[in-house]
Structure 1
Amino acid sequence: MSAEALEAQTTAGAEGLSAIRARPRQALIGFDFDGTLSPIVDDPAAARAHPGVVPALSRLAPLVGTVAVITGRPAATAVEHGGFAGLENLLVLGQYGRERWENGVLQVPEAPPGVAEVRAKLPQILQNAPEGVTIEDKGLALAVHTRRAAEPQVALDRLRSIVAALAERTGLVVEPGRFVLELRPPGMDKGGALRALVAERGASSVLFAGDDLGDLTAYDAIDALRKEGVPGVKVCSSSDEVTALAERADLVVDGPPGVVTVIEALASALA
């Protein structure tokens, strides 16, 4: 995708791109990690950023006000798996904004008590789960993955009510995703993190790229910001597993390689 071909499919998205081009130093460019900067893999621990991500972000970051990764993963994990440690002008908000990594400094709050209770009880209630179901401990949240099960969607549907009941008992909420059910404290979402960062940085325009259901709150935030006079762009890293984002996006690209192309095109347009 050349800089000239970086065109949104909606009028609002085109206005957002124009605003970013006009005042890049006041722009906030945000990205989800898994499925957006990193291909989805069976084992979350094996996820790594697409090889084009770091070079592309290295070009873009000096040209705009803020480049941020907003992810449900722990911030330190995203930095490690993304290869972001050496990148300048990059902010990583982990655990939906509860954790923050910037300039090599990591800030992590104490986990609510419900998380410890889920950590203790979740293995017990999953004893009879289908083979291949795994638990990912994110520190401030825990995720149940079914991607490695023989029938991932069947396993997910079977476990949904059990996980929801545990979340209710422990004061947590369930965030569904691509063959995953995540139990996390309430009040944690990417939309809130994005809005807070826009306010903190005084951003006059915003772009966010995501791929999964957890990214819809960031889309909601952009819709709200537009009504408040802040132009925005919603980019979807598309997949066959989730279509809800593509239906609302201003620009739909083909997975992480497409997102890399968008980053490169933005850098070329602003250079």
Structure 2
Amino acid sequence: MGSHQDSTRDDSPHTLPTPATAAGREGLDALLADPGRAVVALDFDGTLAPIVPDPDRARAHPGAVPALAALAPKVASIAVITGRPAEVAVRHGGFADAPGLDHLVVLGHYGAERWDAATRTLTTPEPHPGVAAVRAELPGLLDRSGAGPGTWTEDKGHAVAVHTRRAPAPQAALDALRAPLTDLAARHGLIVEPGRLVLELRPPGMDKGAALRSHVHGLGAGSVLFAGDDLGDLPAFAAVDALRAEGTPGLLVCSGSDEVTELRKRADVEVAGPAGVVGLLAALAHRLP
């Protein structure tokens, strides 16, 4: 894949950016040519919703639901793929009562949970037993870690996340916690997934790439777009690469962030954060019949 080029960045109303790579241009062309077989997949935090110090206060960009509602009837599916519980993403996204979202699904906990807008139903499995064990041991570990004040945990039900964004030295706190949290996770059959000033302890085999591939294959989709902003979105980027190799065109979109550069290097298009993602969705909806 080619590296990011500034010329790909264009958030003008109803203007679609030109992807920087041939594979990205093929993906966009396939989506425009046959939208009824296209999957548009999106991360939530940092992609549809701005990053905020307290994740409980995260809300979708004000233009997100209108753009999704305009686009959803024109494509096979819109999938919000998130590490959050599905019902939290539905609530924070404002999806539950929004009209026009019948083709939207929320794949929570990296695909372990599924909420369908068409039926307003949620399906969820039992949590991995290691999550409860980790949840019980975390307070003592954090007290002993020396990570300092401002470090706190987020209980996601099927996973537990440790945030350092509020700490006086956020990156130093994250670095201090990496080894002890990795050891704790391993003892209980979990893995550690790093993100933007967060370390998440969750069961193996749960990632956005597996969720995306399953959703695309289940629909027999003819093209796929994925937009993300963080390290946890790299498996979905890899899944799009694999789908391309199998003959399904794809477009990779980075919701720009100064904290994470890996996605920029692999993306076909970069937009200016959630506002840029909303602009891209609105431009697609405007372009499609």
Q: Shorter-chain TM-score: what band?
A: over 0.9
| Partners of 1:3 and 1:12 in 2: CA distance | 22
The one-letter amino acid paired with 1:48 is: R
CA contact (8 A) 1:6 1:265 kept: no
Candidates 229, 232, 235, aligned match of 2:250: 232
The aligned residue for residue 177 of structure 2 is 159
CA contact (8 A) 1:206 1:222 kept: yes
The one-letter amino acid paired with 2:170 is: P
State the secondary structure of the residue aligned to 1:160: helix
Candidates 51, 64, 67, aligned match of 1:40: 51
| Partners of 1:5 and 1:265 in 2: CA distance | 6
Q: Percent identical across equivalent pairs?
A: 61
State the secondary structure of the residue aligned to 2:259: coil
Residue 106 (structure 2) pairs with residue 92 (structure 1): yes
CA contact (8 A) 1:174 1:182 kept: yes
What are the Cα deviations for residues 24-78 of structure 1, in whole angstroms up to 9, with x where unaligned? 0000000000000000000011100010100100100001000010000000000
The aligned residue for residue 75 of structure 1 is 86
Q: 1:252, CA displacement in angstroms? A: 0.4
| Partners of 1:251 and 1:161 in 2: CA distance | 34
CA contact (8 A) 2:14 2:279 kept: no
Candidates 185, 193, 207, aligned match of 1:175: 193
What are the Cα deviations for residues 127-148 of structure 1, in whole angstroms up to 9, with x where unaligned? 1431110100000000000001
* Structure 1: stretches of 5+ with no match in the other structure: none
Q: 1:88, CA displacement in angstroms? A: 2.5
**Number of matched residues?**
271
Q: 1:89, CA displacement in angstroms? A: 1.8
State the secondary structure of the residue aligned to 1:233: strand
| Partners of 2:253 and 2:167 in 1: CA distance | 30
CA contact (8 A) 1:53 1:260 kept: yes
CA contact (8 A) 2:16 2:284 kept: no
The aligned residue for residue 73 of structure 2 is 62
| Partners of 1:223 and 1:265 in 2: CA distance | 24
TM-score (norm 1): 0.98
* Structure 2: stretches of 5+ with no match in the other structure: 1-11
What are the Cα deviations for residues 2-35 of structure 1, in whole angstroms up to 9, with x where unaligned? 4454321111101000000111000000000000
Candidates 93, 101, 112, aligned match of 2:128: 112
State the secondary structure of the residue aligned to 1:58: helix
Candidates 122, 141, 151, aligned match of 1:133: 151
Q: 1:112, CA displacement in angstroms? A: 1.2
State the secondary structure of the residue aligned to 1:247: helix
State the secondary structure of the residue aligned to 2:143: coil
What are the Cα deviations for residues 71-111 of structure 1, in whole angstroms up to 9, with x where unaligned? 00000000000001123321000000000001310111001
| Partners of 2:55 and 2:15 in 1: CA distance | 36
State the secondary structure of the residue aligned to 2:162: strand
| Partners of 2:54 and 2:141 in 1: CA distance | 21
The aligned residue for residue 257 of structure 1 is 275
Output the aligned Cα RMSD: 0.9
The one-letter amino acid paired with 1:97 is: G
The one-letter amino acid paired with 1:126 is: L
Q: 1:269, CA displacement in angstroms? A: 1.0
What are the Cα deviations for residues 195-225 of structure 1, in whole angstroms up to 9, with x where unaligned? 0001111101000000000000000001011
4+ residue runs of structure 1 moved beyond 4 angstroms? none
